[in-house]
Amino acid sequence: MSRPPSSLKLISLNLEKDRHFERVLPFLKQEKPDVVFLQEVLEKDMILLESTLKMKGFFTILESFMWKGCREPGGQATLTNLPLIRRQDTYYRGEEDFPPFIELTPGCAEKINRALSLINVVKDGQTYCLAHTHFTWAPDGKPSAKQEHDLDVLFDILSPLSEFVLCGDFNAPRGTPIFDKLAAKFKDNIPSYVTTTLDKKWHKAGDLHLVVDGVFTTPQYHVESITLVDNLSDHFAIVANLRHER
């Protein structure tokens, strides 16, 4: 009798640059995920992440800025130890070859490029299509024209994919139009009792009750368990165990 395939373990987390490594790195190492999706990553830290987690990493540049006296590229990172059969970055705001240089001032996030990072990996003979993004920012958690436009473009990018998992920091609270449009198309797997994915201890704005991070799935993906972990960064980590069911 053949052994049923095991689930795939995925972690998504807004890293907030290099501010929280003393907590984040031991957590990720202990969890032993198959795939890690990180937002707000400095390119210089990819070697550290790869070596600590014993994973192959891919960096997606979104901007650059001055950080601790040096000009640093920033963006999102994808890491996995599974066989990789596809990797693709698709920009829905800006272009890969022209990342903006930004000043770290209020409102600077509106100028950042935005991309969908997608991988196809194989576990126990099953192929998984997994994607993440750090979606377009708007002030005060309210939808903007940029967000509405970029969401339409993101939907166009996703439309050729038959089945997938979409994770990330969506910069739009659950219960507002952008998040709810995502939830109308795909299953929102963050439990309804969760009132925030922002860590009041570490987030610069303090105690905000906003669910802005998510794991969305199409019908053939089943999330067996999902856990939100605090006291790591300014966002909670999302730990999801999932299966691709045909």
Q: Let me know if residue 222 belongs to a domain.
A: yes
Whether 2 is covered by a domain: the verdict is no
**How many domains does the structure of the chain reveal?**
1
Helix, strand or coil for residue 181? helix
pLDDT at 118: 98
d(CA 162, CA 120): 13
Task: Indicate the helix (H) or strand (E) that contains 107.
Answer: none
Looking up tokens 């070697």 gives 47
**231 within a domain of the structure (yes/no):** yes
In a domain, 134, yes or no: yes
> pLDDT value at position 1?
37
Residue 137 lies in a domain: yes
Residue 166: domain span = 8-244
**Given pLDDT bands bounded at 50, 70 and 90, which one contains residue 6?**
confident
Reported as a single tens digit per residue, the pLDDT across 84-110 is: 999 999 999 999 999 999 998 888 899
Separation in Å, CA 86 to CA 55, 57, 114, 131? 16, 13, 20, 11
The number of angstroms, rounded, from the C-alpha of 217 to the middle of its chain's C-alpha atoms is 14
Q: Is 208 exposed, middle or buried (0-12, 13-18, 19+ CB in 10 A)?
A: middle
Provide mean pLDDT across the span 108-129: 96
Q: Quick one: pLDDT at residue 2?
A: 42
Identify the band that residue 245 occupies on the pLDDT scale cut at 50, 70 and 90. Answer: confident
Q: Provide Rg for the chain, Cα atoms.
A: 17
**pLDDT score, position 3:** 46
Averaged pLDDT score across all residues of the chain: 95
pTM, whole model, 2 decimals?
0.96
The CATH number of residue 231's host domain is 3.60.10.10
Evaluate whether residue 73 is within a structural domain: yes
Residue 87 within any structural domain of the chain = yes
DSSP secondary-structure letter at 190?
S
119 located within any domain: yes
- CB count within 10 Å of CB 80 equals 24
